Amino acid sequence: MPPKGNQTKEEIFELFSRHVSSGKADFFRSVGLDFVFGRRQGPFVWDATGEKRLINCHCNGGVFNLGHSNPKIVQALKSSLETLDIGNHHLVSQSRALLGKRLSELTPGDLTYTVFGVGGGEAIDLAIKLAKGYTKKSKVISASGGYHGHTGLALATGDGKYRDPFGPNLPGFVQIPFNDLPSLQQELDGSTAAVIFETVPATLGMPIPDPDFYARARELCRRSGALLVVDEVQTGLGRTGRLWGIDHFGVVPDIMVIGKGLSGGIYPMSATCFSAELEGFFHDNPFIHVSTFGGAEVGCPVALAVLEESSRPGFLDHVNTLAGIFADGFAWLREKHPEILVGLRQLGLMMGIEMVNEHCGPFMSKACYDNGVLSVYANNDTRVSQLLPPLIIDEDLALEIIGRVDRALDDTKRFLGLAS
């Protein structure tokens, strides 16, 4: 249950505006999205008033892959709280050792070591630091329109709209179009430390890379001596129908970053995974990177429970069954709404609703909200609305979501004057 209090929703907005973010409060008021999270359970969230219920198809970018308040995950935290606390990041930890071992068993190839963080940006920062430290090179290549977080080095790899207000980008960071091998080959040189991509870039509108893109990128990196870093913060833990999105492409990256869903929605946790060879960089200076709350001992059993649930074959089979339902549903929707709907960009339940122009996404977000679905548009390609339902929904709810999206498309067409 939410914290006790007698504030009205209007009073909550006013408190938030005065003490947290006036800009967010004003924005959501201005677009008629005056929603305050109240009760939440499984795939559903209720407004603080209890009057409006939404199907959470945003999931905070995959934080709630297993739904809100998943009983197995909640129990893991309750049990953990009986004996554990944050711990001490300077010392050897049984909890972190056990979680690291399980990750080494589940991650691709020889990624046997993990350094834990609190959020994805911190984990990306470490990946870039490691690549630079190991290779003794400075150049980092990423995708234009991509997003890897708001912290320093992660910010330098993302789209300019997130970093330009703070001044020039850090030297050595360059962007190329995603899924563009000729551009990658042209930019890679002997000074390149790392190439970093989101397996499927969510903020760029979920473009699905060519089947051979990562294999060829891996080979190009190997030839130049650069490391391939794969950001699985949103695509990991079953979202795509495989445990890791990169598994679809048969490639083992040099470094893989995990976040969001590893928290189970209840305890912050991220992970930067890499090989024993790369771990050698830290051997002589094991305190060169520390994180006070990264891999907090009380959160490690939570992450272990997430890994066990997400890696079950039956769980992944369920995700793929749902993916088929959405694929069929959107084929029907495309026939019904040819004026606006281009199609569904999809890898498992990593889905983007592609529409005809850049005005569609913002209007579609509001239309989905009005029809009981929480969905946001892709900020770096506003033609696309993200659709990220919890992976634990049943087939009936998948069909209900399609029905609500159908009505939202009708509303969006009316908003934009596209109805035939």
Cβ pair 73, 269 in contact under 8 A = no
pLDDT of residue 37: 94
Please tell me the distance from the alpha carbon of residue 121 to that of residue 142, in angstroms, as a whole number.
Answer: 14
CATH node for 71-310: 3.40.640.10
**Region 2-24 average pLDDT:** 87
pLDDT in tens, 301-319: 999 999 999 999 899 999 9
pLDDT of residue 2: 46
pLDDT of residue 1: 44
Burial bucket for residue 417 (CB in 10 Å: 0-12, 13-18, 19+): exposed
Average pLDDT of the chain?
96
The DSSP string of 135-153 is H---EEEEETT----SSHH
**Region 237-251 average pLDDT:** 98
**Region 351-379 average pLDDT:** 97
Identify the helix (H) or strand (E) that includes residue 72. helix 71-81
- Max CA distance (Å), the chain: 68
Say whether pLDDT at 3 is over 60: no
Say whether pLDDT at 170 is over 70: yes
Residue type, 161: K
Identify the helix (H) or strand (E) that includes residue 343. strand 341-347
**Region 167-174 average pLDDT:** 95
Helix ranges (DSSP H) in 229-351: 276-283, 300-310, 313-336
pLDDT in tens, 28-63: 999 999 999 999 999 999 999 888 999 999 999 999
Q: Is 54 helix (H, G, I), strand (E, B) or coil?
A: strand
pTM summary value: 0.96
**Region 163-192 average pLDDT:** 96
pLDDT of residue 420: 66
Write phi, then psi, for 40 (nearest 5 degrees): -150, 140
Q: Name the band, by pLDDT with cuts 50, 70 and 90, for residue 7.
A: confident
pLDDT of residue 419: 75
Cβ pair 239, 64 in contact under 8 A = no
Cβ pair 229, 194 in contact under 8 A = yes
Lowest-confidence segment of 72-86, 150-164, 205-219, 334-348 by average pLDDT: 150-164
Beta strand 173-176 with 53-56 is: unpaired
Hey, where are the domains in the chain?
A: 71-310, 312-345+398-405
pLDDT of residue 318: 98
Give me the count of residues in the chain.
Answer: 420
Say whether pLDDT at 384 is over 50: yes
The DSSP string of 20-49 is T-HHHHHHHHHTT----EEEEEBTEEEETT
Say whether pLDDT at 174 is over 70: yes
Please tell me the distance from the alpha carbon of residue 293 to that of residue 21, in angstroms, as a whole number.
Answer: 25
Strand runs labelled E in 61-198: 113-117, 139-143, 173-176, 192-198
Please tell me the distance from the alpha carbon of residue 197 to that of residue 229, in angstroms, as a whole number.
Answer: 7
